[in-house]
């Protein structure tokens, strides 16, 4: 494994932070997750999702409970930091500083430590005290104004896209910092912002608005650059995406759907005209595709090389043979449940640790404290006093 021998101290909760350290774990790092003795990571019992969130973001980690508000708890934590290569945290800005566990404090204890802080708006932002959940940042970044139907309310994405994107940027920054440390021998502070990450997802729409002076609007499943390039109905309430993004695809699509007359229609003879008349065009195509079996149409379109895909449900994805074969979906267990989870797609260095189960709360506390040199009677005392 590429990060074998690297130790990460995980002081995170919810999604962005835990997924960052999960990716490190999948690359071979030893990840020690620090949790509050009174309940641990709040994602252990997430509303509606149960333990799905925790099980996905925390596979292969070791759980150690420490009360960081206690002096002895901070002592234990600092000892762990001295032995760690990486620390990842996503508490409210300044919280660990107030506990004496911020970057400046721990850099003195371990100058080689790479300290990654994930927050809503970044350490230097004047917005640092604002709440910053994934959906909040989708809203403030403009992402929501791009998502949904034009005559409906702006919509959040169906998954925690900002959290997960921030985690991937955090991973990149951490890996780069490890490389830098090989040359300098020194760690560094890494500042990752959910807001910054969300703006990177808005991406080319920023330039478009800046160049044109226009405000992008929601278009539902339609796309302003090509037509047809959207989701269409199929039989039995199923759907598929079809993207005829050039003239060759357009002509092939008309052939498959037996709509050759459309190819000769002046209203649809060029992409610009199809975009201008996309609502009329979509209605015509929908009437035809709705009579097709989805999978049969997908097969026919694929034979012609036309970009397309079935709109799969998550249940369908669970049994996708390609994902199972590539270990993107892996079997794991937690408490009394056996199930599949989405794993890291980082398979450059061979098999990852993705099949390892997530830890029970405090499962490795005694083990790790013994490795730190604490005696059995001291550990028992810590338990009794609520320190671990």
**In a 3-state reduction of DSSP, which class is residue 240?**
strand
126-135 long-range Cβ contacts below 8 angstroms, 24+ apart: 127/195, 128/93, 128/94, 129/93, 132/194, 132/195, 134/15, 134/16, 134/160, 134/161, 134/162, 134/163, 134/194
The total of other beta-carbon atoms located within 10 Å of residue 356's CB is 16
Q: Does 320 participate in catalysis according to the annotation?
A: no
Residue holding tokens 């997960």?
Answer: 164
Residue holding tokens 């990716």?
Answer: 23
The whole-angstrom separation of Cα 365 and Cα 65 is 6
Q: Concatenate the DSSP letters of all residues of 315-373 into one string.
A: HHHHT-HHHHHTTSEEEEEETTEEEEEE-----TTS--STTSPPPPTTTTHHHHHHHTT
Q: Is 52 exposed, middle or buried (0-12, 13-18, 19+ CB in 10 A)?
A: middle
Crossing angle of helices 194-202/134-141, nearest 10°?
A: 50
Whether 243 and 308 have beta carbons less than 8 Å apart is answered as yes
Q: Looking at the chain, list the stretches that DSSP marks H as alpha helix, in order from N- to C-terminal side.
A: 16-26, 52-57, 71-82, 95-98, 103-109, 134-141, 161-184, 194-202, 204-212, 247-256, 260-264, 271-276, 278-289, 294-303, 314-318, 321-325, 365-371, 376-384
Peptide bond into 120 cis (omega under 30): no
Active-site pick, 41, 85, 134, 163: 163
Question: Do the bridges between strand 329-334 and strand 337-342 make them parallel or antiparallel, or are there none, so unpaired?
Answer: antiparallel
Q: Concatenate the DSSP letters of all residues of 260-291 into one string.
A: HHHHH-GGGSSHHHHHHTHHHHHHHHHHHHTT
- 308 Cβ contact partners less than 8 Å away, ≥ 6 residues apart: 240, 241, 242, 243, 297, 298, 301, 302
Name the residues annotated as catalytic.
Answer: 163
């Amino acid at each position: 494994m590429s990060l074998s021998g690297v130790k990460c101290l995980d002081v995170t909760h919810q999604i962005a932070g835990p997924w960052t350290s999960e990716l490190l774990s999948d690359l071979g790092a030893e990840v020690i997750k620090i949790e509050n003795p009174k309940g641990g990571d709040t994602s252990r019992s997430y509303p509606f999702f149960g333990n799905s969130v925790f099980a996905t973001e925390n596979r292969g980690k070791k759980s150690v409970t420490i009360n960081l508000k206690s002096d002895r708890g901070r002592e234990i934590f600092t000892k762990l930091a001295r032995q760690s290569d990486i620390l990842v945290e996503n508490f409210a800005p300044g919280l660990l500083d107030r506990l004496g566990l911020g970057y400046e404090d721990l850099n003195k204890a371990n100058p080689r430590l790479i300290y990654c802080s994930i927050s809503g708006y970044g350490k230097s932002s004047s917005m640092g005290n604002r709440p910053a959940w994934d959906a909040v940042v989708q809203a403030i970044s403009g992402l929501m104004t791009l998502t949904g139907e034009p005559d409906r309310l702006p919509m959040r994405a169906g998954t925690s896209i900002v959290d997960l994107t921030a985690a991937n940027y955090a991973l990149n920054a951490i890996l780069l910092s490890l490389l830098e440390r090989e040359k300098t021998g020194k760690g560094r502070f890494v500042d990752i912002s959910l807001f910054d990450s969300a703006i990177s997802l808005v991406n080319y729409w920023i330039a478009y608005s800046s160049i044109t002076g226009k405000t992008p609007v929601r278009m539902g499943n339609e796309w302003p650059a090509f037509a047809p390039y959207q989701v269409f109905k199929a039989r039995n309430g199923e759907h598929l995406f079809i993207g005829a993004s050039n003239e060759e695809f357009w002509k092939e699509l008309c052939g498959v759907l037996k709509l050759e007359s459309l190819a000769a229609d002046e209203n649809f003879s060029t992409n610009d005209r199809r975009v201008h008349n996309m609502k009329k065009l979509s209605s015509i195509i929908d009437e035809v595709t709705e009579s097709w079996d989805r999978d049969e149409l997908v097969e026919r379109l694929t034979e012609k090389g036309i970009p397309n895909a079935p709109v799969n449900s998550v249940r369908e994805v669970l049994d996708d043979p390609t994902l199972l074969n590539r270990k993107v979906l892996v079997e794991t267990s937690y408490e009394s449940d056996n199930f599949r989870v989405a794993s890291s797609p980082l398979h450059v260095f061979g098999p990852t640790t993705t099949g390892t189960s997530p830890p029970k709360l405090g499962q490795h506390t005694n083990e790790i404290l013994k490795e730190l040199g604490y005696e059995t009677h001291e550990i028992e005392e810590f338990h009794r006093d609520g320190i671990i």
